[in-house]
């Protein structure tokens, strides 16, 4: 008897919602206002993902660039994720493999947070309860965009660029906003006339703002972290 595909998807979606401490989307993401299979909340955690689950009893699952583009668009302000599940039996009683695919930039941020947790623990302090970035300090609330997470404290002082495309512009116009964050978290907004990213290697990129190399900072594009320079990774 072939596996029940609806039940296969339901079991996977429930597992993912519990794993992320998030929620399933209405109608398994088939409604335009709540796309994707499920998501966390970026307003309550720095590592909130929106996921699309794919499961099978067969030998393989196809993930192509169209699949990636779809969940990236559906994720909105959350981080995109593709979850892969392989069932060992057609009665769905045994799961052989559960895998998660996320962008390398998001994986890098998770590694930073995990390393900070290890350093904190090895230093003799109590383990920190969460690997999420610290909550937005009061000093950032006045002039910092509320819908992107603050840079981690270990990156301060730094620059943050908030780059956004106008969906209503026929020329896909881009608006850039700049924020300088001091070592005590104070924010100063500045005018951005140019933003340029240059690859250095597969893992590293240079960020230029107003034709000046940024040593420590972040570039967000439409609410998504695209580039981070400086900090523990460099």
For the chain (234 residues), the mean pLDDT of every run of 10, in chain order, is: 86 91 66 65 80 94 93 86 95 93 88 77 56 50 79 88 88 90 86 92 84 92 90 48
Name 24's bridge partners: 38
Cα separations in angstroms, 115 against 118, 120, 122, 132, 228: 5, 8, 10, 12, 16
CA 128/CA 130 separation, integer angstroms: 6
For residue 31, what pLDDT is reported? 43
CA 191/CA 58 separation, integer angstroms: 54
What's the token pair of residue 52?
Answer: 């699309």
For residue 121, what pLDDT is reported? 66
To the question of pTM greater than 0.95 for the whole model, the response is no
For residue 1, what pLDDT is reported? 67
């Amino acid at each position: 008897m072939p596996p029940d595909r609806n039940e296969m998807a339901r079991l996977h979606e429930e597992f993912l919602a519990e794993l992320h401490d998030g929620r399933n989307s209405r109608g398994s993401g088939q409604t335009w206002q709540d796309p994707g299979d499920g998501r966390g909340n970026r307003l309550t955690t720095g590592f909130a993902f929106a996921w699309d689950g794919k499961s099978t009893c067969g030998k393989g699952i196809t993930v192509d660039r169209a699949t990636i583009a779809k969940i990236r668009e559906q994720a909105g302000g959350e981080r995109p994720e593709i979850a892969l599940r392989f069932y060992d039996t057609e009665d769905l009683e045994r799961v052989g493999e559960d895998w998660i695919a996320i962008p390398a930039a998001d994986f890098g941020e998770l590694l930073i947070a995990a390393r900070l947790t290890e350093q904190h623990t090895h230093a003799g302090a109590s383990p920190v309860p969460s690997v999420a970035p610290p909550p937005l300090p009061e000093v950032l609330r006045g002039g910092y965009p509320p819908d992107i997470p603050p840079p981690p404290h270990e990156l301060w002082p730094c620059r943050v660029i908030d780059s956004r495309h106008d969906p209503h512009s026929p020329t896909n116009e881009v608006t850039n906003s700049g924020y300088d964050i001091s070592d005590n978290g104070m924010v100063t907004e500045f005018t951005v006339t140019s933003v340029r990213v240059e690859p250095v290697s597969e893992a590293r990129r240079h960020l230029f703002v107003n034709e000046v190399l940024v040593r420590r900072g972040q570039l967000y594009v439409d609410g998504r972290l695209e580039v981070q320079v400086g900090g523990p990774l460099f």
